[in-house]
Amino acid sequence: MNDWMRTTMDTKGLRDIDELFEATERLEAEIIERRKAEELLREANERFSRMIENAHDAVVSIDEAGNVIAWNTCAEQIFGWSAQEAMGRKLAELIIPEEFRGRPVWRHVDRVPAASCRLRVREGGCSSRWLAERR
């Protein structure tokens, strides 16, 4: 192998190494940015969870099938079910008095999108009459 070929190969090898170092530096910077974003997201989720848990209103979330996926402390106090008891159960079973479940407005409550309907209890507590309010 002549000197020219050896020099060309060494130069190409150095360029390859430089490119690897640059790529490594870019990846390290991206990893640092991703970790920062993950930490910010974790903090935001913690703030949101604390806000929901400390709300002075019942906060209940259901999935597409109408099963409870979130139930805060106020919901426990208002409806009388612990979060552990409520999780995974049908919302209608937990908050709609049995004598009202057969009425047309409640028949499909588990399939109503959460953003389109909210439940209200009249003044006087949970034993009062239940109402549906369309948004």
Instruction: List the chain domain ranges.
Output: 1-54, 60-134
For 85, the token pair is 């008891």
How far apart are the C-alpha atoms of 99 and 3, rounded to whole Å? 96
Q: How far is CA 30 from the centre of its chain?
A: 25
- pLDDT tens figures, 56-103: 888 999 988 889 999 999 999 888 899 999 999 999 888 887 777 766
Q: Which of 91, 90, 92, 60 is nearest to 74 (CA)?
A: 60
pLDDT in tens, 13-35: 667 888 888 999 999 999 999 99
Give pLDDT tens digits for 90-126.
998 888 877 777 666 555 555 545 444 444 444 444 3
As a CATH number, domain 60-134 is: 3.30.450.20
Give the predicted TM-score (pTM) of the model: 0.51
Q: Which two tokens stand for residue 97?
A: 């008095």
Model confidence band, residue 36 (pLDDT cutoffs 50, 70, 90) = very high
Residue 32 phi/psi, 5-degree rounding, is -60, -45
Say whether pLDDT at 11 is over 70: no
